[in-house]
Structure 1
Amino acid sequence: MRIVVVVFVLVAANLLNNWLARGPYAYVLTCATATAVLLLIARWDGLTSADLGLDAAAVRRGLRWAPFLAGAVLIVFLLLLAVPAGREAFRDARAVDLSAGQLMWRVFVRVPFGTVLLEEVAFRGVLWAMLRRRYGTAWATAVSSLLFGLWHLLPSRGLNRSNTAVATAFGSGSADAAATVAAAVVAMVAAGVILCELRRRSDSLPAPAALHWSVNGFGYALAWAAPG
């Protein structure tokens, strides 16, 4: 029952973010509010901060992982930018059209306090801990990763029109959107598995959060800077 309530909160937040309350401030407010509700549900379920990977020791472990994860992501991205084929992945209208101020907002506010906060607390924190306690680690990773993939159904619409590499791979027409969304969901399921495994190995929620922010934050920054 409580897992169903968590899923209901996530569905509501997803609809708000993608259909109803789409402004930048509304997005962060929705994510922060949903995160607070999910943490209350976790407490209702009897989960501790250690179960969520958020106790003091877990936070310290996560902070030790963070610079290595961020450095690894940055190196991979810079290597991709060094070759023409990889550079196509950074040609994204969602970042290129941003002003410098908007970029700072995305990288340092919207991504960490909106996207990463909600998604990590939801999928690698509350859901993963609730499922793990009931069904074990493998089921927790599988189910939370599947839901993480489905979470990206709505945000993936139009991806083939904004990103050059995606358009090259799948086409940029409206008829190609379904294949693009399906591929994005599968990719996000795989990303969810990686993040869950990092959560398990580090025994810390800040570790996958650091990786998540690094991918999104550096991705925006380099996509914005690459055309110049």
Structure 2
Amino acid sequence: MHTIGRRRGAALAAAVVLLVLATVLANRFLPGWAYPLNGLVATACLLGVARWAGLGLAEVGLDRRFARRAALVGAVGVVVVGAVFGAALLVPAWREVFHDGRVVVDGVGALLWVVLVRIPLGTVLLEEVAFRGVLPALLGAGERWRWGPVLGASALFGLWHILPSLALRENAAVDALLGDAPVLVTVASAVVASAVAGVGLHWCRHVGRGVLAPVLVHLATNCGGVLAAWWVLHA
């Protein structure tokens, strides 16, 4: 037991270091075309770390026995996200949320690259495997809901968004709300909001018994947000 505990502690440290390296590379050094590749490599390395630590597929949310259940839970989440986006698009005052300078996509081909490749492989796959699969398992999550691992992984998910949050003010709604505030306030707000979202996504993973559930919700949120913003900006 002590050997397993030490190995999982070392695996947790390795996973955190790997994620720090991945986010720095993605946000500071790699060209745009390499972003999905970075996500795929980091995901594979995390699963290798989990394997080395003695974790099984079920523990990291990849048990195929629960794929149908996870897909159903995820589908319900997709409907909810779609309803929220639809309501926001129908109310003119809420459309400001979709006025986002980060969504600079020239042409349908580039849009498809973002929503079919960049986001699914570079963002969603890595984040869900990492923060709803490997990290909670390394922190001691089991079949029952355990707040310690959930909050720990969600806090790390919040910190993961520090570098991306530096561009948040390109969103008109965020700029209107926090435009006069110090950058630190914007970053802290993004970290807290992401951590809270992490808890919600882990709830989807818990109910669905697999990371496929939060993957679908995450895809609907990120890809749906890009599509809605592109439509508003090009309408």
Q: Verify same fold: TM over 0.5.
A: yes
SS of equivalent to 2:210? coil
Match of 2:171 in 1: 163
Select 2:188's aligned residue among 179, 182, 188. Answer: 182
Structure 1 residues 99 and 178 mapped into 2: Cα distance closer, same or farther (>3 Å)?
farther
Match of 1:12 in 2: 21
Match of 1:90 in 2: 98
Match of 2:219 in 1: 213
Conserved 8 A contact 2:70-2:205: no
What amino acid does structure 2 have at the position aligned with 1:26? A
Structure-1-length-normalised TM-score: 0.93
Select 2:36's aligned residue among 20, 28, 34. Answer: 28
Shift of 1:67: 2.4
Match of 1:49 in 2: 57
Select 2:68's aligned residue among 60, 76, 79. Answer: 60
1:142-161 equivalence runs, <5 A: 142-160=151-169
Shift of 1:64: 2.0
SS of equivalent to 2:165? coil
Select 1:119's aligned residue among 124, 127, 130. Answer: 127
Moved more, 185-194 or 87-96: 87-96
Q: Structure 2: how far apart are the matches of 1:116 and 1:16?
A: 17
Instruction: Summarize deviations over 1:178-203 as a string: whole Å, max 9, x none.
Output: 22111111110100110111111211
Shift of 1:110: 0.8
Give the unaligned 5+ runs of structure 1.
none
SS of equivalent to 2:18? helix
Conserved 8 A contact 1:152-1:188: yes
Structure-2-length-normalised TM-score: 0.90
Conserved 8 A contact 2:71-2:213: yes
Identity %: 43
Instruction: Summarize deviations over 1:182-228 as a string: whole Å, max 9, x none.
Output: 11111101001101111112111100111111000000000000131
What amino acid does structure 2 have at the position aligned with 1:141? V
Instruction: Summarize deviations over 1:49-78 as a string: whole Å, max 9, x none.
Output: 111111111222222223222121111101
Q: Structure 2: how far apart are the matches of 1:137 and 1:124?
A: 13
Structure 1 residues 28 and 97 mapped into 2: Cα distance closer, same or farther (>3 Å)?
closer
Moved more, 176-185 or 26-35: 176-185
Q: Structure 1: how far apart are the matches of 2:204 and 2:140?
A: 15
The answer to whether structure 1 residue 225 and structure 2 residue 231 are counterparts is yes
Q: Structure 1: how far apart are the matches of 2:167 and 2:130?
A: 25
Instruction: Summarize deviations over 1:79-106 as a string: whole Å, max 9, x none.
Output: 0112233211001112254422111111
Match of 2:46 in 1: 38
Give the unaligned 5+ runs of structure 2.
1-9
Instruction: Summarize deviations over 1:115-172 as a string: whole Å, max 9, x none.
Output: 00100000000001111249x7211111100000000000111211x1000010011x
Q: Structure 2: how far apart are the matches of 1:148 and 1:133?
A: 16
